[in-house]
Chains A and B, each alone.
Chain A
Amino acid sequence: MKEYLKRQKDIFSTAENNKLSNLTVMIAGTGGLGTHQAQQLQRIGINKIYLYDNDKVELSNLNRQIFYGRKDIGNYKVQVAKNHLDNFDLDTKIVKKNEKINKNISLPSDLDIIFDALDNFETRFILEKLALKNKIPLIHGGVNSWYGQIAVILAQEKFRLKNIFNTANNDNSTPNVLSPVVSVVASLQVIEGLKVYLKREDVLKNQLILIDLLTLEIDKIKIVK
């Protein structure tokens, strides 16, 4: 086991620690959720992170997209993100994919988990289709103001984003986003992703988690279709 991971090794069994070192993930979107997820997954010491995004850094990103500063404006996010993470000289391989998520992309063949770090439902529905087609667990997350939501989409279970949010792709409003809220939602997604990958018993199945960070309430809604 890598020496820099010793403060977390007792949280997991030996088999789980070995498994985590082989974990390969896709982060779909290298914005607010994606940069927080990538930072945490690198610190956990997983094998490989594929970072997807084809946008360039903009001024309006800087309130929450933690890898970027003013000097990065105009540069591709995945390149800046890879440079940022590689500078820490840890062992997780960072692969940049300067691609927009669309129905025709070929996913890497070595993925274990996909993390939703997108900012719209239209692309989320495409990502969900890709995940289901390839039978890869998808960990959904979204934020709006003080609120967030997460869910786990598994091919063998009933929960589908498209069933619950099927008109949300027609909503053209731009949500407000706050860095600590993004950070909490991204953290919960990473934790759920680890539980799914390690086949822990308490994985979220067919549930939508609604998070209120003003009142610190979390509601679990059982989804029947």
Chain B
Amino acid sequence: MVVKVKFHSLFKLNLKSAGINYYIDQPISIEELIKKLDNDFEGYFSEKLLDTGQIKPGSIILINGKNVLHIDKLDTLIEDGDNVTLFPPSAGG
């Protein structure tokens, strides 16, 4: 099973990576995904996405075009073929 994770905006710039694919045996939660990402990117994502065990304000986690805050937050399950999009919103004008 494959999960595609794409990084956008400053995440992409800072990591010099546009994303990563994970091969999983069974569905994993967003929290577990962040641990996998931390292993591959030196703890970057728990710093950017988490604040005292919750999703940090100002960072966006979408699964197939839906914000995980409207699903089960960090417990939201990611399944085979899902697309995860991670980015800080562009707020300036």
Residues of A at the B interface (CB closer than 8 Å) are: 29, 31-34, 116-121, 141-149, 163-171, 173, 175-177, 182, 185, 208, 210, 212, 214, 219, 221-225
Contact = CB atoms under 8 A, between A and B. Distances in A.
B91 A171 contact: yes
A177 B92 contact: yes
A147 B90 contact: yes
15 contacts: A143-B93, A145-B10, A147-B10, A149-B90, A165-B89, A166-B67, A166-B69, A168-B89, A169-B57, A175-B92, A185-B90, A212-B8, A212-B12, A224-B65, A225-B66
B57 A224 contact: no
Given A29-B93, A119-B92, A223-B65, A163 B58 contact: no
Interface in B4-41: 6, 8-10, 12-13
Contacts of A177: 92-93
Given A145-B9, A145-B10, A166-B67, A120 B91 contact: yes
| Interface SS majority for chain A | mixed
A109 to B, nearest CB: 26
A225 B70 contact: yes
B55 to A, nearest CB: 7
A214 B66 contact: no
B33 to A, nearest CB: 18
B85 interface: yes
A171 B92 contact: no
B13 to A, nearest CB: 7
Contact of B91 (A34, A121, A164): A121
A221 B58 contact: no
A182 B69 CA distance: 29
A141 B93 CA distance: 8
A144 B92 contact: yes
Contact of B57 (A31, A167, A208): A167
Nearest to A176: B92
Nearest to A172: B58
B88 A163 contact: no
A171 B57 contact: yes
Interface in B79-93: 85, 87-93
Nearest to B83: A221
Contacts of A168: 57-58, 60, 89, 91
